[in-house]
Amino acid sequence: MASATYPFTAVVGMDDMRLGLLLNAISPSIGGVLVRGEKGTAKSTMVRGIAALMPAVDVVTGCRFSCDPALPDPACPDGPHPDGADAAGDARAARMVELPVGASEDRLVGALDIERALSEGVKAFEPGLLADAHRGVLYVDEVNLLHDHLVDLLLDAAAMGSSYVEREGVSVRHAARFLLVGTMNPEEGELRPQLLDRFGLTVEVAASRETDERVEVVRRRLAYDEDPAAFAAKWAAEEDALRERIAAARALLPGVRLGDGALRRIAAVCAGFEVDGMRADIVTARTATALAAWAGRTDVTAEDVRQAALLALPHRRRRNPFDAPGLDEDRLDEILRQFEEDEPEPEPEDPDGGPDDGPGGGENPEDGQPGTPDVPEQREEPARGDDGGVDSPAPREPSAAPEDAPSAQADQPDPAGQSDRSEDGESVVVGAAEPFRTRKLDVPGLGEGADGRRSRARTAHGRTTGARRPRGALSKLHLAATVQAAAPHQRARGRSGPGLVVRRDDLREAVREGREGNLVLFVVDASGSMAARKRMGAVKGAVLSLLLDAYQRRDKIGMITFRGSGAAVALPPTSSVEAGAARLEKLPTGGRTPLAAGLLQAHEVLRLERLRDPSRRPLLVVVTDGRATGGPEPLVRASRAARLLAGEGTASVVVDCESGPVRLGLAGELGRELRGPVVTLDELRADSVSALVRTVTNTNSRRAA
């Protein structure tokens, strides 16, 4: 027997997530909720709990797409269904469907049987998870780890309320309306701003730091694990009360009035925060209406607008990939206060022409039953800058100090108020210069890694380059190749009419070429030779630019730094480019230059990553002036480490940070040992992108020869 679901009302704290889920249960048109937070904070437990509170649904008997017998979908693949008095239906609980991170496109949207479509002329369709979730809850854990095209399909279906499947001119459409809940750990990487915008609401969750609250969490969880049925029975009354309140709010929702004053407040807030597009205004309006219905009111108040903005706008304030979602509440209050001063709301009138109580005149309903959540009055937000994003230092211009005067430069004040030191000086932290658009760096050859935008690869999406026999289920039909394979056998198969007799052996799938994401591993020289010549600000700006490029090209990134007596993995390979930018900003400099240690550490990281993800090809980016001063025979050891990496076929690029009129050319020597191109900081800019692409290709062609 399956154990009872952990009661939604028994979850301790988590007010923001609780409210976001409840508002979407009341008004699914809000567009779902994205939950951002650390592991072990009851995210999955609360999603399962809200699914258990959803009202039961009536479905057409035998329909795999959960059509409503009172209003069946005319385009349902299992239809047409009778409606009205002739409709036969069954009542069942709303489903909660989970989308795994490794799901394929066919598993998400469903699959057509191309063989039967060609040979029998029928639309044989196997429903996917979108069909299963119709009129229920679709839960996507670690949504930021899904492939971008799957997230696009998912959010398109959520926005349109339907799913389309097309294969070589054969198409199927079915309804797909569901409460969408996505969860993610920001440390694993952020969603693109375009995808963030498609989620209606976002909330931040974190484990409580209050001792009493943590004790209560453990006490309840242990009680549930000991006897799930008894624990659920203890909370049954609270669950029933909340279920009734959700149903009442749903019934009240169509009668909630969103007055002109509330609409103007919403527009003022969205304009004041300079959010892109109009989706923010629409979602905020729907959320404010649901808040009023949840409170039992028929008018939207100014507080509803404020609370809706706190849920609907934080993830839409993100201006670049290194900003964390957030909203400045003081700025929000200032905008609303300014609105009240500049444009006081007129006294509303009721439909009969008489005076009305106004948007603030409705009485709050009495408190719900014990354990029933209510609208939280306060929200705690992580520390943000004035614009809602993570504070970052002011840009710095790279220094053009001569190389032959390190001590003189070290005595000059740093623009950021920090003093750089020579190789043997103390560690310092230097701010990054302004990032710029970089040249395109790619890995030569043809890979088979995850979809991305960097290097050439065989992918599920892209231009068709050939055909082959299908490996498993056929998904991408190559029609011309299939017809060509079947044509010679028509007489032997007894073809008598105009149709084409196609068998399984004739089917061919398309081979496509697109772009893949790579593992970009940065090896950054943080020694005193970099800091002493006032170069570290420019170097950090260059690495920050490359991180931004990696984000846009859907790469994984990692970072190794070397200084002093050895090398360290500053950031293990991850999809979180934001984490890389944060580590880079805090990177100290100073000490000697153990170049060999940095290269050997890179070799070990790449070895482990090949075991974890053998299809993802690496690109090694070494940022250094080429000096080596750590350990015995430092240049010889660095040369051996470079040849070790080159011998394993690792594609490499050396970013030469040496500056000044006198140059030793050590970075060029390192590039030759790595068998990769060498570019200066100035050449890294995107002004002459084609030259670098040719350099990378030609260098690796010579290596392959």
Phi-psi map region of 168: left, alpha, beta (phi>0 left; psi -120 to 50 alpha): left
Residue indicated by tokens 């005076």:
355
Catalytic pick among 214, 279, 453, 663: 279
Six-digit token string for 27: 């008004």
Q: Are 33 and 21 in contact (CB under 8 A)?
A: yes
Of 558, 672, 560, 656, the closest CA to residue 616 belongs to: 558
* 145: DSSP letter: G
Question: Which of 569, 449, 462, 593 minimizes the C-alpha distance to 521?
Answer: 569
Compute the residue count for the chain: 705
Measured distance CA(197)–CA(30) in Å, rounded:
12
Per-residue DSSP letters for 77-129? TT-PPP-GGG--EEEEPPPEEE--TT--HHHHH-EE-HHHHHHT----EE--H
279 as an active site residue: the answer is: yes
- The strand pairing partners of 514, in sequence order, are 457
Burial of 543 (0-12, 13-18, 19+ CB in 10 A): buried
Q: For the purposes of burial, counting CB atoms within 10 Å of the CB of 436, is it exposed (0-12), middle (13-18) or buried (19 or more)?
A: middle
Please give the backbone phi and psi of residue 80, each rounded to the nearest 5 degrees, phi first: -75, 150
Helices (H) and strands (E) in the chain, counts: 23, 21
For the chain, the distance separating the N- and C-terminal CA atoms, rounded to the nearest angstrom, is 64
Q: Locate 150 and state its tokens.
A: 């799957």
Strand-strand pairing, 509-516 and 451-468: antiparallel
Q: How far, in Å, CA of 310 to CA of 330, rounded?
A: 11
- Give the H/E segment covering residue 53: helix 43-53
Q: Which of 627, 669, 677 is nearest to 652 (CA)?
A: 677
- Residue 641's CB is within 10 A of a number of other CB atoms, namely 23
Q: Which one-letter amino acid corresponds to residue 72?
A: P
- Please confirm whether the linkage preceding 365 is cis (ω < 30° from 0): no
At which residue do the structure tokens 């005319």 appear? 74
Token pair, residue 78, equals: 């299992």
The DSSP 8-state label assigned to residue 348 in this structure reads P
- C-alpha distances in Å from residue 440, one per residue of 269, 405, 437, 548, 645: 39, 34, 9, 12, 22
Helix spans in 174-294 (H): 193-196, 211-226, 228-234, 236-252, 260-272, 279-294
Amino acid identity at 639: S
Residues with catalytic roles: 279
